[in-house]
Copies of this chain bind each other. A is one copy, B any other.
């Protein structure tokens, strides 16, 4: 029998385009259960718990929650704090004081680890508490998950961006470098491959953190493509590393570190500029451009995958159902059960926590500068329906009257 008490929800880490779908899924489902006396939301993740910055979401309208669900980024705000066991003890103290009996934490692998420690605190204290970690990350780097909510929409943005870049560079020639988010996992950068429709479309080259980046090989690759097509469109992960494992970008500037000791790779465009400068200097190509997609790719308002929306909503709903009906703790994971269908399973925190999933070898070509069809088959359904399709003019050439050659 499920315990009577309150529900608490928090969101953590980098926002996504659909994380509020998960919030709405949890709140709306939790409000259906008689044993749930209140549904609280903590502001700024664990910070809001420790500081008791809590909202009573039981008093939020269903209609507004549906509007919030369509709004990108974390409606309960977020935090980069990674709690140690002392911090987790503070969290538990507040949960207990407020008679929280169901704690849903939406986030990545760090959040799964927090959920694990809080759950242990509860068991030690013999306090009846259900703790469920609900997955979220555009990086798509959580263990056991076929993919994670938030990834599909970010991947769709990257794909649509490169579709436009293909057309833009085709019109004006030159070399283009698009720097995409993804510290350790290249899934998001790799998604740019879906932008290819016509022969000669980019991205012609894709560089991922899963493969060692060599500037020499990079320049050879670019030269080969440019000589063949007269253009070269490149997708590069912000996380590409050299043989020593050092991020290429760290060779450029003193990068700030966040609370997790992670080097800041986004919010600066040095990597794109460095690569562009190298191409100008070594290959002496005049028109070289670089863009860093930056924060637009995770929070642009108006580019979302409907599949991603549905799953983000459902994973929240299922999380509540698991806690209420099965009296269990753990991390909800998404498994692919068909082409295309998914189901949700509860796994142990420790199998998700503080680990990172990267792209399997079968998704990366042997040269390490592009993806395989296996990856395209994997990623396409996640982008959702109604992806735009570029069309070229294909009219016959007019015979020349003069001799210009």
Quick one: which of A246-304 are within 8 Å of B by CB?
A: 256, 266-270, 272-273, 276, 280, 286, 288-296, 298-303
Of chain B, the residue at the smallest CB distance from A54 is B398
Does A1 count as interface, using CB distance less than 8 angstroms?
no
Does A325 count as interface, using CB distance less than 8 angstroms?
no
Query: Is the pair B67, A256 in contact by a Cβ cutoff of 8 Å?
Result: no
Given A51-B404, A289-B266, A300 and B164 contact (CB-CB distance below 8 Å): yes
Does A243 count as interface, using CB distance less than 8 angstroms?
no
Does A359 count as interface, using CB distance less than 8 angstroms?
no
Does A172 count as interface, using CB distance less than 8 angstroms?
yes
Contact count band on A: 35 or more
Does A114 count as interface, using CB distance less than 8 angstroms?
no
Of chain B, the residue at the smallest CB distance from A401 is B97
In angstroms, Cα B266 to Cα A72, docked, is 27
Does A71 count as interface, using CB distance less than 8 angstroms?
yes
Copy tally for this chain in the complex stands at 2
Instruction: Give A300 Cβ to nearest chain B Cβ, in Å.
Output: 5
Of chain B, the residue at the smallest CB distance from A405 is B51
Instruction: Give A103 Cβ to nearest chain B Cβ, in Å.
Output: 15
Spot the interface stretch: A215-223, A316-324, A384-392: A384-392
Query: Is the pair B57, A395 in contact by a Cβ cutoff of 8 Å?
Result: yes
Does A240 count as interface, using CB distance less than 8 angstroms?
no
- When each residue 347-358 of chain A gets 1 if its CB lies under 8 Å from chain B and 0 otherwise, what string results? 000000000000
Spot the interface stretch: A74-82, A142-150, A372-380: A74-82
Query: Is the pair A396, B56 in contact by a Cβ cutoff of 8 Å?
Result: yes
In angstroms, Cα B345 to Cα A180, docked, is 44
Query: Which residues of the partner chain B approach A328 to less than 8 Å between Cβ atoms?
Result: none
Does A163 count as interface, using CB distance less than 8 angstroms?
yes
List 20 additional contacts besides A161-B301, A267-B291, A292-B294; criterion CB under 8 Å.
Answer: A52-B398, A52-B401, A52-B402, A55-B396, A57-B393, A57-B395, A60-B395, A64-B391, A71-B167, A72-B390, A73-B167, A73-B171, A74-B171, A97-B402, A98-B401, A160-B302, A163-B302, A268-B269, A268-B289, A290-B294
19 residue pairs A–B, Cβ–Cβ below 8 Å: A15-B171, A50-B404, A52-B400, A52-B402, A53-B397, A56-B398, A59-B396, A64-B391, A64-B394, A65-B393, A67-B391, A71-B167, A72-B167, A79-B172, A165-B299, A176-B295, A267-B288, A267-B290, A269-B290
